[in-house]
Structure 1
Amino acid sequence: MSTFLELKSFYKHINRSPETGESEVGHFNVFKVEDLLVSKNRPVTYSRRNFFKVSLVTGHSKIHYADQCIEVRDSALVFTNPMIPYHWERIDERQSGFVCIFTEAFFSRFGHVKDYPVFQSAGAAVISLRAEDVGFYNDLFLRMLAELEGDYLYKYDFLRTMLMELVHSAQKMVPTAGQPLSGSNAAERITALFAELLERQFPIELSNQVIRLNTPSAFAGQLNIHVNHLNKALKETTGQTTSQLISERIVQEAKILLKSTNWTINEIAWGLGFEEPNHFSSFFKHAAGVTPKQFRQVDLD
């Protein structure tokens, strides 16, 4: 099971105050890689965060995603988003560079950060840098760090502009190709990450909360693998298809909401990703043998 790192925990880990990166909207901060290094011998986990991160790193390392491992031997830009679990393995103890972290709210004035290719999949997230490129990005991070420490009234607007320059200049470059993993280990890894993505969406605690992933293709997209590859891995390890596993978990949550809340069936349907309530009713009846209304009225458990 991968760990979940919130901003508060991240700052506690590095012994800093999160308030130093607070703007009027959202959160933004820049650090030197050297100040963030932890023990190389820490057990391998696939960590996820509630913030976005852009890293400029120099040093031999490997970045592990669902079914691929991307090796960085020199310098690279690495973009990570909260929806894609990953693990960063340092091969060389000597690592340098910068890390920029920010929340989705900080980026909102420019649009939806999740829509940018470098944040959409592991396949576009790691960009190897030529020697002549390293200087440009190093200077850009230094400019952001200096601006962050300054007292300019509109510094966070300026920092958003520099962040945009970083994202767009990186997207013009070719991503580094990852090496696919094979065998049962890859299937088990994909299954674990699929289960993590699925379970992370629950429980639904607010009537306006909507799950984002409810189809095999949506999960495959987040894991940066073909949907057939995902199906094969899950079938091999669980004996069930992707659709079956998704449906079982949605039905489980539907039963909980029907019994424990006074939300309307329309609200529950919407929260579970159904745009049409009648589609939810048909889905639930097929799985549970009764309609949502009947299930709510009679204790069938």
Structure 2
Amino acid sequence: MDPLSITAAIVGITAPTVHCIRLLSEDIQKIVDAPETLKSLRNDLLSVDQALASLHTVSDEQWRSLGETVVSQSKAATASCAESCDRFRTALSRWTRHSEDGKLSLRDRTMVGFFKQGYVKSMSEQLHHCKITLSSVVCIATLHSSLQQTQITKEVMTKISRKEAEIAKSITATDKQLAEANAKLGALCLAKQAQDETEADRASAISQVAVEQTVLRESRTLLDELLSGIHTAAANARKDQAQVVNNFGSQNGGMQIGVLNGTMSGITFGKK
């Protein structure tokens, strides 16, 4: 991993992803009477846009502290997001092909069947999970910087413990989502095609859930790596914070204190 190019590489990947996100958001915005599910998707897109922007604040040094796995998985999550947005734009164009001037035709509005609903829901969940994962990367990077301080404050230790719990919770949620995605894919494969739905609708819905599975697995790996890293860093910080060292000179006349919490009394300085 080239330490001089990490941030530049991340920016190089996030830029086209942000472009894809904004194009999809604009496409949805043009549908003046869009269903609530599509309107909600725009909020998900905005959240991921903000999470991607926050990645640019992570320095090369912070990326190095997170490790190669976190860097590579962050790139993969970003690239997968762009791919999904492009695919969804194509599907959206197909779904609204009978509509004009931003108003859904009655035919298009009534064609939101099983495959389309599942597609939108899967896309929303993928975006939500991407936002949580990337935000965790930025938060852990900031905590790593805090742990490099000469003195670890109680506030920092509290933040570390809280983030450990949050990531562990995200891992549990990811496992649940992955199980749901597996079941969803099975249901889509077995479902009968509705009268007004095309084979392309079926194929795109199945493809989207397959992508969601991949993204969830990649996210699981990333979260595991983040949790492992913060466990190690936190353990070292707690050990350093608790350490107390007393070294006396050869004449039993000196005193050195590494870390002292509390007051001292009954101590005489000088030779005995």
Instruction: State if a TM-score over 0.5 links the two structures.
Output: no
More helix by share: 2
TM range (shorter): under 0.3
- Max radius of gyration: which structure? 2
Q: Give the number of the structure with larger relative contact order, counting CA–CA contacts within 8 Å between residues 6 or more apart.
A: 2
State the TM-score, normalized to the length of structure 2.
Answer: 0.25
More strand by share: 1
